[in-house]
Structure 1
Amino acid sequence: MNPTAPASATAPTKNPASTQGRIGVLLVNLGTPDSPNTSDVRRYLNEFLTDARVIDMPAAMRYPLFKGLVVPLRAPKSAKIYRQLWDERGSPLLYHGLDLKKLVQEKLGKDYLVAFGMRYQNPSIESALEELREAAVERIIVLPLFPQYAAASTGSVQEKVMDIVSRWWVVPSISFISTFADDPGFIATFAALGKAEMDKHDYDHVVFSYHGIPERHVLKGSHKGYCKLGSCCNHYNKNNRYCYRAQCFATSRLLAEALGLRDDQYTVCFQSRLQSRLRDPWLQPYADEVLKEMPAKGYKNVLAFSPAFVADCLETTIEVGEEFKEMFEEAGGGHWQLVPSCNTHPIWVDAVVDMVKRN
């Protein structure tokens, strides 16, 4: 090499693509026990119910109340229900998530690396992020698999991810897909699943049942006091973009439109509330109360959606599919049918791929 030669003459030609790595994609769902055994269910509930974003009370109250009283009482009952849910592949929430990961990876190709984790228990978010870190991905796109943003679900995932990567010495660029309540592919998936059920049977009414949260969670996140838990949710806009209730109504309106339903042909309600021992109202109307009144209104055949969940789980298969069906029939109803979740429907796989590429 000539030491007197100009730098431009000896510098290697830079390949713009040489420093570019794969894009990491992290899919996250809520979580599931490792097994339906009481000990594993207790471990899961302990982690879930002591999350400050789920039970937003001071730690000095939260830990003794839930770890010391609520979880020990609830775990054996929940384990019994989980045993009803478990099948030959295990937990549906887990294997549908792993199947989705595989299919999304195939669609995205070699320029992406897709990982899957659970907010609570296994596979953990930390293990999924470590997989991406070891692969030296250029950046990470995080998709919490909750269509409607809530601080207790999407917000908790975001907090956990940020807490983990804050301990990394090198932190790549990270972006979050915080909500997809009105995503066209998501809506199209549930619409296709609903139409398939409608082709099999005539229905008097449609129910869109969403997981409930305390009213205070909505109010705490209200932009400049915009939220009044009323007609403000009839329009989805920049002021209520992250209002869980407004997103649920937006999803319902779009699904109703895709299914050709009039306003009087469907009902929006909220399930899975904790009994108000703490005298704390949750989002209303309550699904279990709504469905019991339907037969008296002439709704004998009801099609039920649970569009807060993209994978079948305890809250869909057991709660809406079995427990609500029993309540409906005891109240005089005829036919109650649950629409399955997105799971790995081809339209949903394409929708996830599209959301990743757009972000």
Structure 2
Amino acid sequence: MIGILLINLGTPEAPTIDAVRKYLDVFLSDPYVITLPKILRDILVQKIILPKRPKISAHAYQQIWTDAGSPLLVNSVALQTALQKKCSDSYVVELGMRYGNPSIEQAIDNLQKNKCEKIIVLPLYPQFANATTQSTLDVVNAVFERNKSNAEIKIIRDFYNQDFYIHSFANNIQRSIDKNNPEFILFSYHGLPKRQRGANDYRAQCYTTTQLITDKLNLSSEKYQTVFQSRLGFTKWIGP
């Protein structure tokens, strides 16, 4: 049996202030996310961010929440289900979240209960960053070590330049172009603080993704731009 472990970032259990506070507490306490000494990170998270941010973020979550739940979780489960249907009976596909549920630990336990001899670990982050991929892989490796797994482990660290990924995005964008005829396209990626190790490499991978997609679409350089979003705090972030 071969296992496939899909991993996404995670989501609050509900679009409420309490649920968002619980989620942000875990997420922002990750040393890969806020790269400060623990005592400074704790002060920043507990005394500055958590007293105010959950209310703002809960309101934002309420705008996108669906009857089925969090869009990130709903779409991740849909991907898991679709991939399982595409695979033969010799494959088992599990989903885990870096923060929240379903957890990475539970997903790996399920794969091991199915006696998977090989497990393919696929974090669903196209570009590699310590704050996403490396943080996730640390948890994955810790669980495998704790469980004393004998399975062969294959880790996919990134896929920002893979043909299937570029082709999929190019097709989706082309359909939107045909329908809406936009004058300009923004390729928006999640930002990273400049001080984070590997931030420049991540930025370069994002630019490579944009270039490969725009090449396939035959877009001229004056028709698009790569930008970065979701800045937090006063430190300098990668840009523009």
TM class by shorter chain equals: over 0.9
* Counterpart AA for 2:202: Y
Do 2:117 and 2:150's aligned partners in 1 also have CA atoms closer than 8 Å?
A: no
Q: Please state how far the C-alpha of 1:284 moved relative to its aligned partner.
A: 0.9
Q: Is residue 2:222 matched to residue 1:267?
A: no
For 1:254 and 1:176, the matched residues in 2 are separated by 24
Q: Summarize the alignment of residues 61-140 of structure 1 with structure 2, pairs less than 5 Å apart.
A: 61-140=40-119
Do 2:3 and 2:119's aligned partners in 1 also have CA atoms closer than 8 Å?
A: yes
For 2:56 and 2:193, the matched residues in 1 are separated by 23
Gapped runs of 5+ residues in structure 1? 1-21, 223-228, 230-242, 286-359
Do 1:48 and 1:120's aligned partners in 2 also have CA atoms closer than 8 Å?
A: yes
SS class of match (1:164)? helix
Q: Please state how far the C-alpha of 1:196 moved relative to its aligned partner.
A: 1.0
SS class of match (1:215)? coil
Q: Summarize the alignment of residues 153-232 of structure 1 with structure 2, pairs less than 5 Å apart.
A: 153-217=132-196, 220-221=197-198
Do 1:105 and 1:113's aligned partners in 2 also have CA atoms closer than 8 Å?
A: yes
* Counterpart AA for 1:212: G
Q: Is residue 2:214 matched to residue 1:256?
A: yes
Q: Please state how far the C-alpha of 1:176 moved relative to its aligned partner.
A: 0.9
Show the counterpart of 1:282.
Answer: 237
Q: Which moved more, 1:97-106 or 1:160-169?
A: 160-169
Q: Please state how far the C-alpha of 1:203 moved relative to its aligned partner.
A: 2.0
* Counterpart AA for 1:140: I
For 2:161 and 2:220, the matched residues in 1 are separated by 19
SS class of match (2:164)? helix
Show the counterpart of 1:13.
Answer: none
Q: Is residue 2:39 matched to residue 1:60?
A: yes
Distance 1:177-1:37 versus aligned 2 partners, 3 A rule: same
Q: Summarize the alignment of residues 294-333 of structure 1 with structure 2, pairs less than 5 Å apart.
A: none
* Counterpart AA for 1:184: D
* Counterpart AA for 1:206: I
Q: Would you say how many aligned residue pairs link Structure 1 and Structure 2?
A: 240
SS class of match (1:163)? helix
TM-score (norm 1): 0.65
For 1:216 and 1:33, the matched residues in 2 are separated by 27
Show the counterpart of 1:341.
Answer: none
Moved over 6 A (4+): none
Q: Is residue 2:14 matched to residue 1:38?
A: no
For 1:146 and 1:182, the matched residues in 2 are separated by 12
For 1:35 and 1:169, the matched residues in 2 are separated by 34
For 2:114 and 2:51, the matched residues in 1 are separated by 40
Show the counterpart of 1:232.
Answer: none
Do 2:3 and 2:93's aligned partners in 1 also have CA atoms closer than 8 Å?
A: yes
TM-score (norm 2): 0.96
Do 2:80 and 2:94's aligned partners in 1 also have CA atoms closer than 8 Å?
A: yes
Q: Please state how far the C-alpha of 1:170 moved relative to its aligned partner.
A: 3.3
> Could you report, residue by residue, the CA deviation over 1:19-61 in whole angstroms, capped at 9, with x for unpaired residues?
xxx1111000001000011111111000100001111111122
Do 1:50 and 1:67's aligned partners in 2 also have CA atoms closer than 8 Å?
A: no
* Counterpart AA for 1:266: Y
SS class of match (2:93)? strand
Q: Please state how far the C-alpha of 1:221 moved relative to its aligned partner.
A: 3.1
SS class of match (1:200)? helix
Do 1:116 and 1:123's aligned partners in 2 also have CA atoms closer than 8 Å?
A: yes
Identical positions, percent: 41
Distance 1:148-1:170 versus aligned 2 partners, 3 A rule: closer
Q: Please state how far the C-alpha of 1:72 moved relative to its aligned partner.
A: 2.3
For 1:79 and 1:201, the matched residues in 2 are separated by 31
Q: Please state how far the C-alpha of 1:201 moved relative to its aligned partner.
A: 2.3
Q: Please state how far the C-alpha of 1:134 moved relative to its aligned partner.
A: 1.1
Show the counterpart of 1:18.
Answer: none
Show the counterpart of 2:5.
Answer: 26
